[in-house]
Structures are given as C-alpha cells and as structure tokens.
Structure 1
Amino acid sequence: MAEVRWIYDLTIFLYAASVLFYFNDFLQSNRKVNRMAFGLLVVVWALQSAFFVSQTIMKTYFPVITLFETLFFYSWVLVSLSLAIHYFFRIDLLVFFTNIIGFVVLVMSMFLPETPIVAVSSVLQSELLLTHVTLAMFSYGAFSLSLIFSGMYLLQHKMLKERRWTPLLRRLPSLDQLESYAYRMNMLGVPMLLLSIVLGIIWAKMVLPDKFMLDAKVVLSLIVLASYSFWVYKRYRDTMPIRKMQIWNILAFALLLINFFGANTSTFHSWW
C-alpha cells in the first residue's frame, strides 16, 4: 500500500492547487488562471484513476465497499463530471463549485483507513452489491450537480431581484438554463438511484434476514428516492413555483447526505 500512497498524497496536493486557481478565477475572472486550474484538474483525474486501478488490483475487488473507498470513488465521479461539463457546457462556475464538493469529499477520506479493519468477505464482493454501490455513487454525482444548479439559480434570482449587476451575474447561465440543467441531472439521478436500490434489495434478499427492509439506510434511501421522484413529477406537471422547486431540491440533497453519513447503524450498512 505504501508504494502507491504517494499517488493519493500528490492527488490531494494538486487538487487543492486546482481549487485555489478556480477560486482565483471566480474572484477575478482570469482566463489564464482558469486554464491552469483545468490542466491541474486533468492531472488530478489521471492520478485518481491510477490510484483507483492500483487499489482494485491489490484488493482483488472493485473498491467501493468501505467509507474510504466510497468517498474516493465519489470524488472521482465528481472530477469526471467536471471534465465532461467543461467539454460540453463550458460553465466554469459549475466546474468550480463541483470541485469544492469533490475536494472536501477527498479530504474527508484522508482521515479514514485505506484498507478495511476486517477482511472483505466474499459475500460483500458480490457483483450485485458492487453494482448497487457504484450506481448509487453515480446518482449522488448527478444529484450533486443538480444541487449546484439549484444553488446558482437561487443566487441569480436573488441578484436579479435586488438589481445587483455584478460581473458574477454575467458569468451565470440564464435562469431557464439553470432550471433545465437541474431537471436533467435529476432525470439522470433518479433512475440510477432506483436501479441501485432494486439491486441492493435483490442482493439483500439472497444473503440477509427478512427484516433488512426495516434498516435505517434502506428506509431513508426510499425516502430520498421519493423526494427526488416527487421533484421530477412536479417539474414535469409544472405545478410548483420554480423557486420553491430549487429549495426542495436543496433540501432533498441534505436528506441524501444524512442518509449517506448518518444512517449506518446496521451490521450490513455500517462502515468499518
């Protein structure tokens, strides 16, 4: 493990530098600094990918089981989405805000053991379970982008209402675009989370007692799915004011975080 630890440490260092450059661009709108930040982000993605592959080889399973592994994978998903956003949409502020989340997630993983305290059993190496967790992390990535779009919407709405014609306002997409992007991200996230939950239930039916449906994370996951599904339904039916929908979206993400970090009380949903 020590021979690849330097990749992880270098990743955090370069990720911090990239976020700082993006922050400088956020304050001063400096294109040269923005290009440097993006270049560093590409290197971060390459290093994260190399570290992830090395973990997969050494652990002989797809490393998304422990809290360290899932946080690292979640951060990788956010960096990957950032690169895709830069290529297709060129929304620099979205890349900046996305990588604030990605960097915080990666820093959190620093305080966790890289290897599980006990050996990962063959039951936990099931392809169904690994697909369940992987899909959940990708849905979290989509919901993270949706959260940022909603936050940017509320920020721009407030600035327009107060008639604050600042350079920041000119760098934000239109309200219609922000609302549409949030909708698209949730349209991606909801089916991925649904499929993740279905696969998790199928796996649990095979290896766990019948009472697994009463587990706190299972119940909260269903509530999170219902919250986002309700948001998508209301958006499709156009029966709720857009501003209230963005607030609902932010609250749904807060519930998602509670589910991810707080509902880990059972023997099969606890991080070791």
Structure 2
Amino acid sequence: METINLLYVMIILFYCLSVLGYFIDFMQNSQKVNRAAFWLLSIVWVLQLVFLIIRYIQFDRLPIMTLFEGMFFYAWIIVTISLVVNRLYRTDFLVFVINIIGFSVMAISMLTPAGDVSERLAELFIFELLVIHVVVLMLSYGVFTLGFAFSILYVLQHQMLKQKKWNNRMVRTGNLLTLLKGSYVCSLIGFPLMLTGLILGLVYAWVSMEAVPFTDMKVISSFFVLLVYGVYLFYYKVKDMRGYQMALFHIGAFLILLINYLLSSTFSQFHFW
C-alpha cells in the first residue's frame, strides 16, 4: 500500500512540474522548457499506466469502478491524447490547455475515496458489458476534452486578433480554421462514442435488472449532454455555422458535460460510487 501511495504522489508531482513547464513555455516561449515538460508528461503517462496495472493486480478487476479510479482513468486518457496530439500537430498550447484539465481532474481525485468497491458494486460489474460501457464513455470524455481545448484556443486567438495583438503566441496557437475544425472533429468522434456508451448502459440495466432507468437523474442528464452536442453538430454541418459563437457554444457544451460527470451521480439512485 505504501508503494502505490508513493507512486500516486510521484504522479501528482511530475504532472504538476509538467504543467508548470508548459505554462513557462506559454509565457516565455522556451523550447528547452517545452521539451522538458513533454518528457515529464511522458513519465506521468508511464507512472499512471503502472498505477493502473498495480490496481488491476491488487483487486483483480479493471481499475475503473470507483469514483477515484474513474477520474484517474479519465486523467490517463487526457495525458494519452495530449502526447499523441503533441507528436502529430506540434500544437504546444493545445497540450497545455488539455493538461490543465487533466491535472485538475487528478487533483480532485485526491479528495475521493481510493479504496476497493463495495460488494454490491462489485457484483454489478461482473458483466463485461458494463465494463465496456464505462470504458467507451471515458473515451468519449477524453475526446470531448480535446475538443474543448481547441475551442478555448479559438476564443483566445479570436480575442487577440480583435485586439490586434500580433505576437508569436498567435502562431503557436494555430489558425482559427484549424482550431474550429478540431472542435468539430472531436465532437463528431465523441458523439457516437457517448451514444454507444449510453446504449450499452441501458442494455446492461435491462439484462441485469429487467428495467430501464429512464427517470434516473444521471441517465436524463447524460442524454441532455448528448442532445447539446447533437445541436452543436447540427448547426455546424447542416446550418453551416462557424466562428466565435460556435466556439462559445462548444465550450458551454463541455461545461455541461463536466457538471453531468461530477455532480449528477450525487442525485442518482442507479449510478453510485
């Protein structure tokens, strides 16, 4: 137990140093610091993976069952996505924004119970269907997080252009068209992932309890999130809407997603941690 606690502390420490490095690079435009931040983030990814493997061996199940494990897994997905994005697009500021969210999730997870799941919850997770349901939803959250980062950078870029602040940060942020399209593509990927995850959850509920909890607060709020992203996709693709307002709409959609993830389980009788 002491080993895994030490590992968790190391993850938090290295993650903090990495985000700090990206912040310094954001302010000072230092490629040396940027490279150090990237390698620190790579170490964080490895340590997170080791942590998940240890939890798997310790409890003999996938470590995604508790609120703590769910948030930790979510943070690992965010780090994974940011490392891939850093290699493919070389958009340093995008990586910075993504990992502010990832580190925040890790920090909040410190306040949640880290123990094993209750006997009742363990019984529910016997079926592989529910495991897939959770994993698919977590992947959708990771993709939506990336889209949120694109939208944040779009808003920042738009404000700098509006105020005529021409500097190197604008070049490193990426052009407006790329950022807006990035938000759209992430929503286009995240939407079917989330829809699939919700359908799998409903199917499992029917199989295990012979009832579909349509009136459950978590179910209602999750489908509301899906509806909001569906409206965004509709206006982007069908109505051909672009620009600043769409970026703000996308940011609002992600904030609703976070509220759904962090708060709605508190008022849910079907979902519990």
- TM-score computed with the length of structure 1 as normaliser: 0.95
Other-structure match for 2:42:
42
> In angstroms, what is the RMSD of aligned CA positions?
1.4
Residue 198 of structure 1 corresponds to 199
Contact kept in structure 1, 2:205 and 2:212, CA below 8 Å: no
Specify the alignment match of 1:87 in structure 2. Answer: 87
Q: What SS does the corresponding residue of 1:270 show, helix, strand or coil?
A: coil
Counterpart residue identity of residue 157, structure 1: H
Cα 1:50–1:253 change in 2 (3 A) is: same
Tell me which amino acid in the other structure corresponds to 1:95: V
**Equivalent pair of 2:59/2:116 in contact (CA under 8 Å):** no
Q: Which residue of 2 aligns with 1:68?
A: 68
Deviation at 1:2, TM superposition (A): 2.8
Poorly superposed stretches of 4+, deviation over 6 Å: none
Q: C-alpha distance in 2, partners of 1:4/1:262?
A: 28
Q: 1:154-187: per-residue Cα shift (whole Å, max 9, x none)? A: 1111211121113322221111110111111111
5+ residue gaps, structure 1:
none
Q: Which residue does 2:135 correspond to in 1?
A: 134
* 8 Å Cα contact 1:98-1:145 kept in structure 2: yes
SS at structure 1 position matched to 2:12: helix
Report the count of equivalent residues: 271
| Cross-structure match for 1:12 | 12
Give me the whole-angstrom Cα distance separating, in 2, the residues matched to 1:201 and 1:14.
39
TM-score, normalized by length of structure 2? 0.95
Post-superposition Cα deviations, 1:192-233, rounded to whole Å, max 9, x if no partner, equal 001100100100112236361100110111111111112112
Task: Indicate if the aligned counterparts of 1:61 and 1:125 stay in contact, CA closer than 8 A.
Answer: no
Map 1:32-181 onto structure 2 (within 5 A).
32-116=32-116, 118-119=118-119, 120-181=121-182
For structure 2, the residue ranges without an aligned partner over 5 or more in a row are: none
Cα distance per residue 1:101-128 (max 9 Å; x no partner)? 1111011111122114623422223211
Instruction: String of CA shifts for 1:79-117, please: whole Å, max 9, x gaps.
Output: 000110011111000111111111110111111221146
Q: CA deviation at 1:267?
A: 3.2
Give per-residue Cα distances to partners, 1:51-78, cap 9 Å, x unaligned: 0011111111111121100000000000
